[in-house]
Chains A and B, each alone.
Chain A
Amino acid sequence: KQEVTQIPAALSVPEGENLVLNCSFTDSAIYNLQWFRQDPGKGLTSLLLIQSSQREQTSGRLNASLDKSSGRSTLYIAASQPGDSATYLCAVTDSSYKLIFGSGTRLLVRP
């Protein structure tokens, strides 16, 4: 059974800092990995999608990497801003085409 783990569960950083969020998964047989952002009480916004054949994707200040063989992904946020404060969720599409989520990292960027 695929399991997705995100570390740390919560993170507080001063504005301007570069930071890394971690995601690990137990079964390397995935089709893709997706990072989402969730604001309190709100829906999910897709940030980046990495196919299993890709190593990384970039969008603005965000960069996500994927190492499928070791079951790991990282989300790098450059020059963090208070507006980046949210919960970040990692999810993998497993071999039966289901999207399996981690429990998220709650990020607070202090002004």
Chain B
Amino acid sequence: DADVTQTPRNRITKTGKRIMLECSQTKGHDRMYWYRQDPGLGLRLIYYSFDVKDINKGEISDGYSVSRQAQAKFSLSLESAIPNQTALYFCATSEDLNYGYTFGSGTRLTVV
């Protein structure tokens, strides 16, 4: 099994719908992150969590919310999806600054 699992892998949804992207990790790390990637751009941070009681906004949090249900689970929600939220979404985890980040395989979201 992958260290970081994202579901679904692909999703097409309509404008105005609520959608949840899920992430789970088996590495036992406290830190988890949600990133978004648009074509030709690097990854931009949406939200991050350093433990189950700590949730922080990243640089592009508007229109998104998150839930840290457990150390291993971190979900991203789009309350009312809009077309410019069409992107590739990545979840990641890290242990601490001495180690790198491990990324999931991504969720390709299309809002029509």
Contacts and interface: CB of A to CB of B under 8 A. Distances in A.
A1 B78 CA distance: 26
Contact of A103 (B42, B48, B100, B103): B42
B50 A101 contact: no
A31 B33 contact: no
Interface residues of B, number: 27
Contact of A101 (B31, B43, B104): B43
Interface stretch (A14-22, A76-84, A92-100): A92-100
A43 B90 contact: yes
B107 to A, nearest CB: 10
B76 to A, nearest CB: 16
A93 B58 contact: no
Interface in B72-91: 88, 90
B102 interface: yes
A31 B42 contact: no
A89 B90 CA distance: 14
Main secondary structure on A side of the interface with B? strand
Interface string A32-51: 10101000011110100101
Nearest to B44: A101
Main secondary structure on B side of the interface with A? strand
Nearest to B106: A43
Contact of A51 (B43, B45, B98): B98
B56 to A, nearest CB: 9
A100 B101 CA distance: 12
Contacts of A41: 88, 106, 108
A97 B97 contact: yes
A102 interface: yes
Nearest to A9: B40
Interface of A: 4, 31-32, 34, 36, 41-44, 46, 49, 51, 89, 91, 93, 97-104
